[in-house]
């Protein structure tokens, strides 16, 4: 066993927390990131903002400068920054969260959830909240675009509280109104919120900071709140630890260096020559040595041969590009380990592959075969499938090869509609395609999640339509009818009679029977349904309708008044086969109460 490298964590040694921005499209995430990275702050040589790999580092001096206008609440000490800076992930959006291999592991220490004050909660706001809650990532809500409130007076040099007080009465009223409606909408999502200056218990309340990413109003308060949250609410989480914590953000080609990985090194340190062990997409872990660590050069003038500085070692928390051999099958979103000695390599290999999320994805025994190039987008696809209750039996990274088709073809026996491979942004090898064509396995190949999902869904819908047509006469919808004695028009073949639908649904084609003493008498199938003298395809619970019932069996037609009476109950004649057909092809058309009726009829008919 590996001895845990226990280290002295100290609250005096905080690292820069990692911050992500997410929220609905067009709420201003990109603009907000620009503002947070404050492209307009003078860049002093020493303490300036530095661009890193995949992230921007905003150091303490800049944070001080940016938050100096923030007024401490009455009676409290002036705000003092204890963290060395913020590491803000450059690209906004969900992907970073989806990327994270296992639930509960999050690259981000704190997220900023952007909500447009004019629009309130939108679909991706809800999605983001779920994602954050799933990952256990705390977040602050930036209620953005306050400058769009009617006659808002902007002044980014003022603390938000003072700025709000300065506004005209009707602007304040509009602000309060929109704030409380956003809060209400968030509470409908199970989220309690309070304004940041109330400093309510963050376990119960998420904090809201109103901002404008365009004018800069509220940005100082947002930054101050992010800093405060990290250093006061979760200092333990952001104490620097020697234990390596590094996440692969992207696997990509870097000119002159081959395939490299962009990594956020949160804790611990890395140096040239370190042996790193990381999960590989081919099911085999990668063991390789760091050849170079690349950081963007701070000073552009030094750009002679390359854009990168190449330090010998680096320490968390920062973004870095790692150059090493064999990184082609590295997986974005995975974390990696460093082997300190030869003996550790084997153990770490197992450990690293075990952490591989593919192992965590729960597959069904029966379902479609899913393949993709990137875990982030694959997980997005799996989520869509889940929402639509489409089972998947296998999930793999990499191109579609013949053995994939062989595995997928097993579904031909069980459920042919799922004998499919959903290939997301990967190649299909020629012999794989040929084998699929020969066997009848469908391969859906697209570059984007939505396109792929759509084309697969169309296939499922077509399949469903065909099957419904095929099984229309086998699937019997359940119904119970009572005869209206004043409306008996014909007593035998065809029987024409007025009935009330007491439960279920009756359709043209439904076989009917009555229970008389101990036996069931088949009286025929529904040949026509009329309501107010017009033919209708279906009668529903509560309807009073006129039925034409035709005898289709070889037996002699049954007669009302002779074989059965007007006060007998008529019901659909169901069978095991018809129940199965309903379950298989018409599940969505039957309501809960219809299923209950099927269960009742099953008992009446003694179907096992
Ligand atoms: P994203 O899709 O969330 O990244 O949104 P963007 O940052 O691209 O912004 C979407 C649009 O909203 C752009 O036209 C921005 O100029 C605008 N926008 C963003 N933030 C603000 C804001 O605070 N106030 C106003 N008035 N417009 C904003």
User: What per-residue confidence (pLDDT) applies to 231?
Assistant: 94
Q: Say what angle helices 592-605 and 576-585 make with each other, to 10 degrees.
A: 160
Q: Is the pTM of this model over 0.80?
A: no
Residue in the structure block whose two tokens are 């819908």: 461
Measured in Å, residue 570 CA sits from the centre of ligand 1 at 64
User: What per-residue confidence (pLDDT) applies to 91?
Assistant: 77
User: What per-residue confidence (pLDDT) applies to 361?
Assistant: 60
Catalytic residues: 94
Residue 379 phi/psi, 5-degree rounding, is -65, -35
User: What per-residue confidence (pLDDT) applies to 43?
Assistant: 47
Residues near 588 by beta carbon (within 8 Å), at least 6 away in sequence? none
User: What per-residue confidence (pLDDT) applies to 556?
Assistant: 84
Q: How far apart are CA 91 and CA 58, in angstroms?
A: 15
**Residue 258: which of 322, 318, 313 has the closest Cα?**
322
The residues of the chain scoring below 70 in pLDDT are 1-10, 38-50, 75, 93-105, 282-283, 298-306, 344, 347-363, 376
User: What per-residue confidence (pLDDT) applies to 2?
Assistant: 36
Residue ranges around ligand 1 (CB below 6 Å): 25-31, 92, 144-145, 147-148, 212-214
Q: From the CA of 31, give the closest atom in ligand 1.
A: 7
The single-letter DSSP state of residue 289 is: E
Sign of CA dihedral 279, 280, 283, 289: negative
Residue 6 phi/psi, 5-degree rounding, is -75, 140
Measured in Å, residue 28 CA sits from the centre of ligand 1 at 4
ipTM: 0.99
Task: State CA 106 to chain mean position distance.
Answer: 15
Residue in the structure block whose two tokens are 């944070």: 63
Question: Under a CB-based contact definition with an 8 Å cutoff, are residues 392 and 398 in contact?
Answer: no
Residue in the structure block whose two tokens are 């179907």: 607
Measured in Å, residue 222 CA sits from the centre of ligand 1 at 17
Q: Whose CA is nearest to atom 10 of ligand 1?
A: 26
Residue 126 phi/psi, 5-degree rounding, is -65, -45
User: What per-residue confidence (pLDDT) applies to 104?
Assistant: 42
Residue in the structure block whose two tokens are 């100290």: 10
Q: How far apart are CA 476 and CA 507, in angstroms?
A: 9
Question: Under a CB-based contact definition with an 8 Å cutoff, are residues 116 and 24 in contact?
Answer: yes
User: What per-residue confidence (pLDDT) applies to 347?
Assistant: 65
The pLDDT tens digits of the residues spanning 347-401 come to 666 655 545 555 456 667 789 999 988 776 787 898 899 888 899 988 887 889 9
Measured in Å, residue 352 CA sits from the centre of ligand 1 at 40
Cis peptide before 94 (omega within 30 of 0): no
> What region, left, alpha or beta, does residue 524 occupy, with left being phi > 0 and alpha being psi -120 to 50 degrees?
left
Q: From the CA of 24, give the closest atom in ligand 1.
A: 3
Q: Whose CA is nearest to atom 15 of ligand 1?
A: 28
Q: Whose CA is nearest to atom 9 of ligand 1?
A: 28
């Amino acid at each position: 066993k590996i001895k845990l490298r226990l280290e002295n964590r100290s609250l005096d040694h905080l690292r820069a927390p990692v911050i992500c921005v997410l929220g609905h499209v067009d709420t201003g995430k990109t603009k907000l990131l620009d503002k947070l990275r404050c492209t307009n702050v003078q860049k002093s040589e020493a303490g300036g903002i530095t661009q890193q790999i995949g992230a921007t580092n905003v150091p303490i001096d800049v944070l001080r400068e940016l938050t100096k206008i923030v007024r401490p609440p009455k009676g409290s000490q002036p705000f003092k920054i204890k963290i060395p800076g913020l590491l803000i992930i450059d690209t906004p959006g969900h992907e970073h969260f989806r990327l994270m291999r296992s639930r509960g592991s999050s690259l981000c220490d704190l997220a900023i959830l952007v909500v447009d004050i004019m629009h309130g909660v939108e679909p991706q706001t809800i999605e983001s909240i779920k994602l954050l809650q799933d990952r256990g990532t705390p977040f602050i809500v930036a209620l953005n675009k306050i400058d769009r409130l009617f006659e808002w007076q902007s002044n980014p040099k003022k603390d938000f509280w003072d700025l709000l007080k300065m506004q005209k009465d009707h602007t304040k009223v509009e602000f309060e109104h929109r704030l409380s409606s956003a809060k209400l909408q968030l509470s409908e999502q199970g989220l309690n919120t309070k304004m940041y200056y109330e400093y309510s218990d963050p376990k119960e309340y998420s904090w809201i900071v109103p901002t404008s990413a365009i004018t800069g109003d509220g940005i100082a308060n947002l930054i101050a709140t992010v800093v405060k949250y990290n250093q006061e609410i979760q200092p333990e989480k952001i104490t620097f630890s020697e234990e390596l914590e590094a996440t692969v953000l992207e696997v990509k080609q870097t000119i002159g260096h081959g395939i490299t990985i962009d990594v956020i090194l949160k804790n611990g340190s890395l140096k040239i020559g370190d042996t790193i062990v990381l999960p590989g997409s081919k099911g085999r872990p990668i063991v390789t040595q760091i050849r170079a660590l690349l950081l963007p050069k701070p000073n552009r003038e030094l750009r002679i041969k390359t854009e990168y500085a190449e330090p010998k070692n680096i320490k968390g928390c920062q973004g870095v590009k790692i150059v090493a051999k064999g990184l082609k099958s590295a997986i974005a979103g995975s974390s990696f380990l460093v082997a300190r000695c030869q003996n550790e390599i084997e153990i770490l290999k197992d450990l690293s592959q075990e952490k591989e999320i593919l192992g965590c994805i729960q597959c069904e025994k029966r379902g479609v075969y899913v393949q993709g190039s990137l875990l982030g987008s694959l997980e997005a696809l799996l989520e869509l499938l889940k929402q639509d209750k489409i089972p998947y039996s296998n999930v793999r990274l990499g191109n579609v090869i013949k053995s994939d088709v062989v595995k997928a073809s097993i579904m031909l026996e069980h459920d042919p509609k799922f004998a499919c491979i959903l290939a997301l942004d990967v190649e299909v090898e020629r012999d794989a395609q040929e084998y699929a064509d020969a066997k009848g396995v469908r391969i859906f190949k697209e570059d984007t999640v939505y396109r792929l999902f759509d084309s697969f869904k169309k296939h499922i819908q077509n399949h469903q339509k065909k099957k419904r047509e095929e099984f229309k006469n086998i699937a019997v919808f359940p119904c119970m009818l009572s005869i209206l004695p004043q409306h008996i028009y014909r007593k035998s073949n065809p029987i024409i009679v007025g009935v009330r639908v007491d439960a279920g649904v009756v359709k043209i084609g439904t076989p009917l029977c009555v229970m008389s003493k101990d036996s069931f008498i088949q009286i025929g199938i529904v040949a026509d349904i009329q309501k107010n003298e017009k033919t209708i395809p279906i009668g529903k619970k509560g309807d009073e309708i006129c039925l034409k019932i035709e005898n289709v069996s070889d037996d002699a037609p049954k007669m009302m008044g002779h074989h059965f009476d007007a006060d007998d109950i008529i019901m659909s004649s169901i069978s095991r086969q018809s129940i199965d057909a309903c379950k298989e092809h018409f599940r969505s058309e039957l309501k809960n109460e219809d299923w209950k009726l099927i269960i009742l009829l099953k008992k009446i008919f003694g179907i096992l």
